Amino acid sequence: MTKNLTRRGVLKSGAVAGAGLAVPTIFTASSAAAYTNEPTGSSVTLGFNVPQTGPYAEEGLDELRAQELAVEHLNGMGDGGMMNTFSSKALKGNGILGKKVEFVTGDTQTKSDAARASAKSMIEKDGAVMINGGSSSGVAIAVQGLCQDAGVIFMAGLTHSNDTTGKDKKANGFRHFFNGYMSGAALAPVLSSAYGSDRNAYHLTADYTWGWTQQESIAAATEAMGWNTVNNVLTPLASTDFSSYITPVLNSGADVLVLNHYGGNMVNSLTNAIQFGLRDKVVNGKNFEIVVPLYSELMAAGAGKNVEGVIGSMNWNWQLTDEGTKAFVKSFGEKYGRPPSNSAHTCYVQTILYADACERAGTFNPCGVGEALEGFEFDGMGNGPTLYRAEDHQCFKDVLVMKGKENPSNEYDTLQILEVTPRAQVEYAPDHPMFAGGELGACNSGA
């Protein structure tokens, strides 16, 4: 090692270091566009960020199918699906604001970090002006925060945590899907009439924002009906085997098991519970029951015979008979040969709602689009009359209570609609304690 500090050497290295430090200061010029990724050409790019790997991959792939279908309909191809039954007639089937709709996809891997990385690359590299999709509340909240900072609209996909439009709500984020509180409000009366009002419930809960808030909601709603919550055990999201969590249930004196699990987690935990013979047990003189507060067709298909008689709730189901549902199921079925799941429905609707809001606002500017969505009342999208509430960007609509079919006729016919809970019963004030603590803030257009 040589250590000869010469005057010349010091000067040279000083100059190099100075130049290095000066470099970033010339990059302060802000871009000329009025807002992030303002579409200037003949097309507009939407970003579809869904889990393609991990415990929620099945849901993600179905979301992607629905999003592709929505893009087709927006561009005037296919039969138009729900655009024909939608109460707003702003969309003309010539793209959005006359620009052809293109899309890019990303894999969230059901991980906040990966989801943000893929959303970032869609915004920074591909110029996406809106991010749609996702199948986990943890991811949805993380991506929602990113979109707020980046100045693009986030149309949340399947996210059921109270926090998404509660303490983590953001001005640029919008949620069509229902939430844990609504599930609790819809399920509790049905559960108490089906299983009686003096039950002891044991909760197994996925250990993240969705699990926590859903568990809180269900426990509160059932306790109000007279149930007792015996225990709540948190399970890691990455678990695949739940047998070690099931054994203690048997000795706890509980007679109802509430599985606050979703996707692959729920398939595995329900299967484990059935294998342990929980449903054949009689505890406290009552038949042991299992409840899955958040259902989906894909999970029901994955769990097969095990879902028979199990009660849960859903945002939407393809068996509904309104015009919007029929139109959507028809065009989805013709393209993919299967009925859409409720996550597919919500992503499809979100894409159409976004396009419609742009059309009505006359711009892609997130602030204009947000304004058009806030307080927007619409119908014909499969859920009956729906309101996008301005205070928290949450949609309010009817909730379905579902039950696993006893004798399914085919792999898609696994659930039956037990009750359609009217919107009035699941509404709550924006400052409800379960949703308090956050603020929307101001919309960010990235300018």
Partner 1 sequence: MLGLEKKDFNLLMVVVALSLFAPLILNIFPKESAFAFFNGGYPDLMQRFAIFGIFAIGFNILFGLTGYLSFGHAAFLGVGSYAAVWMFKLLGYNVLPGLILSVVVAGLLSVVIGFVSLRRSGIYFSILTLAFAQMMYSIAYSDLFGRWLGITLTNGETGLQVYNNDPQILMGPDSSTVPHIFGLEMSSRLTLPVGPWEFVFPVGYYFCAIFLVISFYLSIRIFRSPFGLMLRAVKSNNQRMTYTGLNPRPYTLAAFIISGMYAGLAGGLLASMDPLAGAERMYWTESGAVVIMTVLGGVGTLIGPVLGAGTIKYMENIISKMNEKLLHEWFSFLPESLEKAMVWSASWFTGEGWHMTQGVVFMLVIIFLPGGLVQGSNKLFGRRKRKSTDDAATKQPAE
Q: Which residues bind partner 1 (CB under 8 A)?
A: 1-3, 9, 12-13, 20-21, 23-31, 52-53, 104-107, 111-114, 116-118, 120-121, 124-125, 137-138, 141-142, 145-146, 149-150, 163, 167-168, 207-209, 234, 236-237, 437-439, 441
Residue 149 or 241: which CB sits closer to partner 1?
Answer: 149
Residues 153, 170 contacting (CB under 8 angstroms): no
CB of 106 vs partner 1, minimal distance in Å: 7
Give DSSP secondary structure letters for 218-273.
Answer: HHHHHHHTT-EEEEEEEE-TT----HHHHHHHHTTT-SEEEEE--HHHHHHHHHHH
Residue 298 or 320: which CB sits closer to partner 1?
Answer: 298
Dist. CA 174–CA 428, nearest whole Å: 17
Q: What percent helix, strand, coil does the chain show, rounded to 5?
A: 40, 20, 40
Residue 8 class from Cβ within 10 Å (0-12 exposed, 13-18 middle, 19+ buried)? exposed
CB of 107 vs partner 1, minimal distance in Å: 6
CB of 120 vs partner 1, minimal distance in Å: 4
Cα dihedral 110, 111, 114, 118 in deg (nearest 10): 40
Residue 9 or 277: which CB sits closer to partner 1?
Answer: 9
Q: What are the CA-CA distances from residue 271 to residues 218, 300, 304 (Å)?
A: 22, 11, 9
Q: Residue for token digits 């869904």?
A: 50
CB of 375 vs partner 1, minimal distance in Å: 22
Residue 169 or 403: which CB sits closer to partner 1?
Answer: 169
Residue 167 or 389: which CB sits closer to partner 1?
Answer: 167
Name 419's bridge partners: 401
CB of 175 vs partner 1, minimal distance in Å: 15
Compute how many other C-beta atoms are within 10 angstroms of the C-beta atom of residue 123. 24
Dist. CA 184–CA 286, nearest whole Å: 22
CB of 193 vs partner 1, minimal distance in Å: 34
Dist. CA 107–CA 26, nearest whole Å: 35
CB of 408 vs partner 1, minimal distance in Å: 30
Residue 132 structure tokens: 């749609």
CB of 272 vs partner 1, minimal distance in Å: 21
Residue 224 or 238: which CB sits closer to partner 1?
Answer: 238
Residue 100 or 286: which CB sits closer to partner 1?
Answer: 100
Residue 169 or 397: which CB sits closer to partner 1?
Answer: 169
CB of 409 vs partner 1, minimal distance in Å: 32
Residue 329 class from Cβ within 10 Å (0-12 exposed, 13-18 middle, 19+ buried)? buried
CB of 322 vs partner 1, minimal distance in Å: 32
Dist. CA 303–CA 334, nearest whole Å: 26
Nearest to 325 by CA among 373, 384, 377: 384
Dist. CA 429–CA 412, nearest whole Å: 36
